[in-house]
Amino acid sequence: MSFIGQVAQWFQDPAHWQGDGGIPHRTLEHVAMSGVSVLVAALIALPIGIAIGHVGKGGNLAINISNIGRAIPSFALLVLAAQFFGIAAASQIVGFGAVPAFVALVALAIPPMVTNSYIGMREVDPDVREAARGMGMRERAVLLRVELPIAVPFIMAGIRTSAVNVVATATLAAEVAWGGLGRFIVDGLGLQDYPQLFAGAVMVAVLALIVEFSLAGLQRLSTPAGLRPSKSTQKEEPVAALDTAAVAA
Protein backbone atom coordinates (compact mmCIF):
# COMPACT_ATOMS: atom_id res chain seq x y z
CA MET A 1 0.00 0.00 0.00
CA SER A 2 1.23 3.49 -0.76
CA PHE A 3 2.35 5.68 2.11
CA ILE A 4 -0.53 8.11 1.61
CA GLY A 5 -2.87 5.10 1.66
CA GLN A 6 -1.45 4.10 5.05
CA VAL A 7 -2.03 7.63 6.34
CA ALA A 8 -5.62 7.54 5.08
CA GLN A 9 -6.09 4.19 6.78
CA TRP A 10 -4.73 5.64 10.03
CA PHE A 11 -7.36 8.37 9.87
CA GLN A 12 -10.10 5.80 9.19
CA ASP A 13 -9.27 3.61 12.17
CA PRO A 14 -12.14 4.19 14.65
CA ALA A 15 -9.74 3.56 17.56
CA HIS A 16 -7.96 6.82 16.73
CA TRP A 17 -11.17 8.78 17.25
CA GLN A 18 -11.97 7.58 20.77
CA GLY A 19 -10.95 8.33 24.32
CA ASP A 20 -8.35 10.64 25.86
CA GLY A 21 -5.78 9.79 23.20
CA GLY A 22 -8.24 10.20 20.31
CA ILE A 23 -8.20 12.90 17.66
CA PRO A 24 -11.20 14.90 19.01
CA HIS A 25 -9.82 15.04 22.56
CA ARG A 26 -6.28 15.90 21.43
CA THR A 27 -7.62 18.64 19.13
CA LEU A 28 -9.70 20.08 21.94
CA GLU A 29 -6.68 20.04 24.26
CA HIS A 30 -4.55 21.82 21.68
CA VAL A 31 -7.17 24.48 20.93
CA ALA A 32 -8.05 25.06 24.59
CA MET A 33 -4.42 25.32 25.70
CA SER A 34 -3.54 27.69 22.84
CA GLY A 35 -6.66 29.81 23.34
CA VAL A 36 -6.24 30.24 27.09
CA SER A 37 -2.51 30.98 26.73
CA VAL A 38 -3.09 33.68 24.11
CA LEU A 39 -5.94 35.17 26.16
CA VAL A 40 -3.88 35.36 29.37
CA ALA A 41 -0.88 36.74 27.47
CA ALA A 42 -3.12 39.37 25.82
CA LEU A 43 -4.46 40.47 29.21
CA ILE A 44 -0.87 41.06 30.32
CA ALA A 45 0.71 42.34 27.10
CA LEU A 46 -1.88 44.63 25.52
CA PRO A 47 -2.32 47.01 28.50
CA ILE A 48 1.49 47.33 28.71
CA GLY A 49 1.96 47.99 24.98
CA ILE A 50 -0.99 50.37 24.78
CA ALA A 51 0.10 52.26 27.90
CA ILE A 52 3.69 52.65 26.65
CA GLY A 53 2.39 53.76 23.24
CA HIS A 54 -0.07 56.24 24.74
CA VAL A 55 2.48 57.83 27.03
CA GLY A 56 5.19 57.64 24.38
CA LYS A 57 7.98 56.70 26.78
CA GLY A 58 9.79 53.38 27.04
CA GLY A 59 9.55 52.75 23.30
CA ASN A 60 12.93 51.04 23.16
CA LEU A 61 11.78 48.51 25.71
CA ALA A 62 8.58 47.83 23.77
CA ILE A 63 10.47 47.32 20.52
CA ASN A 64 13.33 45.32 21.93
CA ILE A 65 11.20 42.92 23.93
CA SER A 66 10.11 41.15 20.74
CA ASN A 67 13.72 40.95 19.54
CA ILE A 68 14.69 39.37 22.84
CA GLY A 69 11.68 37.07 22.62
CA ARG A 70 12.76 35.97 19.15
CA ALA A 71 16.26 35.14 20.40
CA ILE A 72 15.01 32.75 23.07
CA PRO A 73 14.27 29.38 21.41
CA SER A 74 10.69 28.34 22.19
CA PHE A 75 11.85 24.76 22.58
CA ALA A 76 14.32 25.85 25.27
CA LEU A 77 11.60 27.87 26.98
CA LEU A 78 9.37 24.79 27.14
CA VAL A 79 12.09 22.51 28.48
CA LEU A 80 13.17 25.14 31.04
CA ALA A 81 9.59 25.50 32.26
CA ALA A 82 9.22 21.73 32.44
CA GLN A 83 12.39 21.36 34.51
CA PHE A 84 11.60 24.34 36.67
CA PHE A 85 8.29 22.83 37.69
CA GLY A 86 9.72 19.32 37.57
CA ILE A 87 8.47 16.79 35.07
CA ALA A 88 8.66 13.94 37.56
CA ALA A 89 6.55 15.82 40.07
CA ALA A 90 4.25 17.04 37.33
CA SER A 91 3.30 13.62 36.05
CA GLN A 92 2.28 12.54 39.53
CA ILE A 93 -0.31 15.26 40.02
CA VAL A 94 -3.29 14.84 37.74
CA GLY A 95 -3.58 17.69 35.28
CA PHE A 96 -0.39 19.39 36.44
CA GLY A 97 1.42 18.37 33.26
CA ALA A 98 -0.27 21.32 31.60
CA VAL A 99 1.33 23.94 33.89
CA PRO A 100 4.86 24.08 32.38
CA ALA A 101 3.44 24.18 28.85
CA PHE A 102 0.98 26.91 29.83
CA VAL A 103 3.65 29.08 31.47
CA ALA A 104 6.02 28.72 28.50
CA LEU A 105 3.27 29.52 25.98
CA VAL A 106 2.16 32.64 27.85
CA ALA A 107 5.76 33.86 28.10
CA LEU A 108 6.21 33.24 24.39
CA ALA A 109 3.02 35.06 23.39
CA ILE A 110 3.65 38.28 25.32
CA PRO A 111 6.50 39.98 23.36
CA PRO A 112 4.91 40.25 19.87
CA MET A 113 1.73 41.65 21.40
CA VAL A 114 3.57 44.29 23.45
CA THR A 115 5.62 45.41 20.44
CA ASN A 116 2.76 45.50 17.94
CA SER A 117 0.32 47.29 20.22
CA TYR A 118 3.03 49.85 21.02
CA ILE A 119 3.76 50.39 17.31
CA GLY A 120 0.04 50.63 16.59
CA MET A 121 -0.32 53.42 19.15
CA ARG A 122 2.72 55.24 17.74
CA GLU A 123 1.24 54.98 14.24
CA VAL A 124 -1.37 57.50 15.29
CA ASP A 125 -0.53 60.78 13.58
CA PRO A 126 0.32 63.39 16.27
CA ASP A 127 -1.79 65.90 14.32
CA VAL A 128 -4.79 63.61 14.66
CA ARG A 129 -4.19 63.42 18.40
CA GLU A 130 -3.87 67.23 18.57
CA ALA A 131 -7.04 67.64 16.56
CA ALA A 132 -8.92 65.33 18.91
CA ARG A 133 -7.72 67.34 21.91
CA GLY A 134 -8.57 70.57 20.09
CA MET A 135 -12.11 69.27 19.61
CA GLY A 136 -12.33 69.11 23.38
CA MET A 137 -11.92 65.36 23.81
CA ARG A 138 -10.73 64.28 27.20
CA GLU A 139 -7.68 62.04 27.52
CA ARG A 140 -9.88 58.97 27.93
CA ALA A 141 -11.86 59.75 24.80
CA VAL A 142 -8.67 60.41 22.83
CA LEU A 143 -7.44 56.97 23.85
CA LEU A 144 -10.69 55.07 23.35
CA ARG A 145 -12.15 56.84 20.33
CA VAL A 146 -9.11 57.98 18.36
CA GLU A 147 -5.92 56.11 19.24
CA LEU A 148 -7.28 52.61 19.82
CA PRO A 149 -9.37 52.31 16.63
CA ILE A 150 -6.33 53.36 14.58
CA ALA A 151 -4.11 50.94 16.51
CA VAL A 152 -6.48 47.95 16.35
CA PRO A 153 -5.16 46.44 13.09
CA PHE A 154 -1.65 46.42 14.57
CA ILE A 155 -2.87 45.00 17.86
CA MET A 156 -4.62 42.28 15.86
CA ALA A 157 -1.41 41.62 13.91
CA GLY A 158 0.37 41.06 17.22
CA ILE A 159 -2.34 38.70 18.47
CA ARG A 160 -2.15 36.80 15.19
CA THR A 161 1.65 36.43 15.33
CA SER A 162 1.45 35.23 18.92
CA ALA A 163 -1.44 32.84 18.27
CA VAL A 164 0.33 31.13 15.37
CA ASN A 165 3.51 30.86 17.46
CA VAL A 166 1.56 29.40 20.37
CA VAL A 167 -0.20 26.79 18.23
CA ALA A 168 3.19 25.77 16.83
CA THR A 169 4.91 25.61 20.21
CA ALA A 170 1.99 23.77 21.83
CA THR A 171 2.89 21.02 19.35
CA LEU A 172 6.39 20.87 20.83
CA ALA A 173 4.87 20.64 24.31
CA ALA A 174 4.22 16.96 23.62
CA GLU A 175 7.95 16.57 24.26
CA VAL A 176 7.53 17.80 27.84
CA ALA A 177 4.84 15.30 28.74
CA TRP A 178 1.83 17.30 27.66
CA GLY A 179 -0.93 16.22 25.23
CA GLY A 180 -2.32 18.10 22.28
CA LEU A 181 -1.93 17.19 18.63
CA GLY A 182 1.87 17.11 18.95
CA ARG A 183 1.39 13.81 20.80
CA PHE A 184 0.75 12.05 17.47
CA ILE A 185 3.96 13.44 15.97
CA VAL A 186 6.14 12.77 19.01
CA ASP A 187 4.73 9.26 19.54
CA GLY A 188 4.94 8.53 15.82
CA LEU A 189 8.57 9.62 15.91
CA GLY A 190 9.32 7.49 18.98
CA LEU A 191 7.61 4.38 17.57
CA GLN A 192 8.86 5.03 14.01
CA ASP A 193 5.16 4.87 13.11
CA TYR A 194 5.39 7.15 10.09
CA PRO A 195 1.69 7.10 9.13
CA GLN A 196 0.80 8.36 12.63
CA LEU A 197 3.60 10.92 12.47
CA PHE A 198 2.38 12.18 9.11
CA ALA A 199 -1.27 12.23 10.18
CA GLY A 200 -0.31 14.28 13.24
CA ALA A 201 1.60 16.71 11.03
CA VAL A 202 -1.44 17.12 8.76
CA MET A 203 -3.71 17.95 11.71
CA VAL A 204 -1.23 20.40 13.26
CA ALA A 205 -0.61 22.14 9.93
CA VAL A 206 -4.33 22.45 9.20
CA LEU A 207 -5.00 23.88 12.67
CA ALA A 208 -2.18 26.43 12.32
CA LEU A 209 -3.40 27.51 8.88
CA ILE A 210 -7.00 27.87 10.12
CA VAL A 211 -5.79 30.07 12.98
CA GLU A 212 -3.59 32.15 10.66
CA PHE A 213 -6.24 32.71 7.99
CA SER A 214 -9.13 33.39 10.35
CA LEU A 215 -7.10 35.88 12.40
CA ALA A 216 -5.88 37.52 9.18
CA GLY A 217 -9.52 37.91 8.18
CA LEU A 218 -10.38 39.30 11.61
CA GLN A 219 -7.47 41.73 11.30
CA ARG A 220 -8.87 43.04 8.00
CA LEU A 221 -12.38 43.33 9.44
CA SER A 222 -11.08 45.20 12.49
CA THR A 223 -9.48 47.91 10.36
CA PRO A 224 -11.70 51.03 10.53
CA ALA A 225 -13.37 51.60 7.15
CA GLY A 226 -11.64 54.93 6.66
CA LEU A 227 -8.20 53.36 7.09
CA ARG A 228 -8.69 50.42 4.76
CA PRO A 229 -6.38 50.61 1.77
CA SER A 230 -8.21 50.77 -1.53
CA LYS A 231 -7.59 47.94 -3.97
CA SER A 232 -5.30 50.02 -6.17
CA THR A 233 -3.04 51.24 -3.36
CA GLN A 234 -2.92 47.94 -1.50
CA LYS A 235 0.32 47.72 0.44
CA GLU A 236 2.09 44.86 2.15
CA GLU A 237 0.46 43.85 5.37
CA PRO A 238 1.68 45.77 8.40
CA VAL A 239 3.47 42.75 9.86
CA ALA A 240 6.23 43.08 7.27
CA ALA A 241 6.73 46.73 8.09
CA LEU A 242 6.61 45.93 11.78
CA ASP A 243 9.25 43.26 11.57
CA THR A 244 11.50 45.59 9.63
CA ALA A 245 10.90 48.43 12.03
CA ALA A 246 11.39 46.20 15.02
CA VAL A 247 14.90 45.20 14.06
CA ALA A 248 15.99 48.39 12.37
CA ALA A 249 15.30 50.38 15.52
Partner 1 sequence: MLATGVVGAVEDPWIRWSWISGHLDVIIAALLQHIQLTLIAVVIGLVIAVPLGLVAWRSRLFRGPIFTLTGILYTIPSLALFAFLLPFTGLTVLTAEIGLVSYTLLILVRNIVVGLNAVPDEVREAARGMGFRPLAELARVDLPLAIPAIMAGVRIATVTTIGLVTVTALIGEGGLGSLIYDGLLREFHTPLVVGTVLSVALAVVADLSLAGLQRVVTPWARSRAVP
CB atoms within 10 A of CB 128: 13
Spell out, one character per residue from 149 to 178, where the chain touches partner 1: x when CB under 8 A holds, - when not. ---------------x--xxx-xx--xx--
**To the nearest whole angstrom, how small is the minimum distance from the Cβ of residue 72 to partner 1?**
6
144 or 191: whose CB is closer to partner 1? 191
State the first-to-last Cα distance of the chain, in angstroms, to the nearest integer: 55
Assess 46 for contact with partner 1 (CB under 8 A): no
CB atoms within 10 A of CB 141: 14
**To the nearest whole angstrom, how small is the minimum distance from the Cβ of residue 20 to partner 1?**
21
Q: Can you tell me the distance from the alpha carbon of 151 to that of 25, in angstroms, rounded to the nearest whole number?
A: 37
Assess 124 for contact with partner 1 (CB under 8 A): no
10 Cβ contact partners less than 8 Å away, ≥ 6 residues apart: 16, 195, 196, 199
Work out which of 9, 18, 60, 83 binds partner 1, going by CB under 8 A.
Answer: 83
Q: Which of 119, 149, 155, 147 is nearest to 243 (CA)?
A: 119
**To the nearest whole angstrom, how small is the minimum distance from the Cβ of residue 115 to partner 1?**
13
15 or 93: whose CB is closer to partner 1? 93
Q: Can you tell me the distance from the alpha carbon of 40 to that of 126, in angstroms, rounded to the nearest whole number?
A: 31
167 Cβ contact partners less than 8 Å away, ≥ 6 residues apart: 30, 34, 204, 207, 208, 211
Q: Is the dihedral of CA 7, 214, 120, 231 positive or negative?
A: positive
Assess 197 for contact with partner 1 (CB under 8 A): yes
Work out which of 24, 47, 86, 224 binds partner 1, going by CB under 8 A.
Answer: 86
Work out which of 103, 150, 188, 219 binds partner 1, going by CB under 8 A.
Answer: 188
49 or 238: whose CB is closer to partner 1? 238
Long-range pairs of 185-194 with CB within 8 A, sequence gap ≥ 24 = 194/3, 194/6
Spell out, one character per residue from 199 to 238, where the chain touches partner 1: x when CB under 8 A holds, - when not. -xxx-xx--xx--x-----------------------x--
Q: Which residues bind partner 1 (CB under 8 A)?
A: 3, 67, 70-76, 79-80, 82-83, 86-89, 92, 164, 167-169, 171-172, 175-176, 182, 185-186, 188-189, 194, 197-198, 200-202, 204-205, 208-209, 212, 236, 240-241, 243-244, 246-249
